[in-house]
Structure 1
């Protein structure tokens, strides 16, 4: 039993590295969060502004994450200057809050090897390169659907993507995120085996935008 536990701990440690040298990674994961799900599970209890009626947030940018072929770096040491409040505030239109932008820089951006302005500019470019299906934005009531339907919608809206280049995640029985794998030049690429873990729910909740 002790050997099994030790092996599990070692494997878990390999999956996520903290304090890795900045700028050393293999590709990016662009994480797009369906805001109504985040609001229902977490944001409403926080009184988050992006959850107010009429805000119109759909798939927002959760983050642009440096990734290894297996695992990912985080909290890398860097000499890059931290972003200003104005800089993180400028990301609210696609991220929902300046606080999230700050957190993403502190955890993931520092591992990119970029300055904060360049990291946020690259994040915005990556976000704009992926078409979010307009049909999903037009829903006016909550529906239940297979998570695979969301993947198919993204594949149809983005002909350059193939099934192994993105994954759909769920949380609390709801569609949570779409994660797209990109090269360092922001071209679509096949995801690593630890990223391609599609949600298999056949009746996931999908709430309309507010």
Structure 2
């Protein structure tokens, strides 16, 4: 075979080999990468949002989230009830009474703190959807928030996070008038609506006439936990009033 023709065959075979090798390398590359892609750096920022950390309190064992049935408070207090919460046209159901630091037995209150005792009005208003009374916000900060070791901002941030952890059963979200209720039925509804919550980690309280509060025990990381001392305060009546808004 002439030398020129042989050289052309060798060159053609080399080009075919290069093409095949390139194809095989492309098939080996992970889907979605390009030849210029570099492996993600371990220091590269994660584009997905991360939940903000839960403020860590200190000097106590756990929290109680107290959810008050607002129409019961308004009915019990009558003309002396807080107007921000109970004035005509207000339609609150369960609201936050407080987030209370607890010992396994007993609880701290009115603690010394480097934080201000007063709460700015603008800060209190930010909680108005879950704590409609600014006076209640100030009272809860002074009596309970001062004992958490947290700043005001962290304490109020934690209150909202705690509320988000507890699902109110759908049958009890609206402050409508209803027949007498069995506190145990309400407790069971909360347990069913909140996986991980057990009957020994919740208390439904009442007074002589009305169902008053649902108290849920939470760890400092806002997970459900048992709390025998709090549970012992559960209402023992078989039926109580759970009024609606006027």
TM-score relative to the length of structure 2: 0.72
Aligned equivalent of 2:182:
146
Aligned equivalent of 1:136:
172
- Residue 110 and residue 190 in structure 1: after superposition, are their counterparts in 2 closer, same or farther (change >3 A)? same
- Structure 1 unmatched runs, 5+: 1-21
Supply the distance in 2 between the matched residues of 1:81 and 1:139 (Cα, whole angstroms). Answer: 35
Aligned equivalent of 2:103:
68
| Partners of 1:137 and 1:208 within 8 A in 2 | no
2:226 equivalent to 1:190: yes
Q: 1:172 Cα deviation (Å)?
A: 2.8
Ranked by relative contact order (alpha carbons within 8 Å, sequence separation 6 or more), the top structure is 1
Aligned equivalent of 1:106:
142
Supply the distance in 2 between the matched residues of 1:170 and 1:128 (Cα, whole angstroms). Answer: 24
**Runs of 4+ that moved beyond 6 A:** none
What do you get for the CA RMSD once the two structures are aligned? 1.8
TM-score relative to the length of structure 1: 0.84
Aligned equivalent of 2:53:
none
Aligned counterpart in structure 1 of residue 155 of structure 2, from 119, 133, 138: 119
Q: Which has the higher strand share?
A: 1
Aligned equivalent of 1:28:
63
Aligned equivalent of 2:84:
49
- Structure 2 unmatched runs, 5+: 1-56
- Residue 107 and residue 47 in structure 1: after superposition, are their counterparts in 2 closer, same or farther (change >3 A)? closer
Q: How many residues get paired?
A: 189
Q: 1:80 Cα deviation (Å)?
A: 1.7
Q: Is the partner of 1:199 in helix, strand or coil?
A: coil
Larger radius of gyration: 2
| Partners of 1:75 and 1:108 within 8 A in 2 | yes
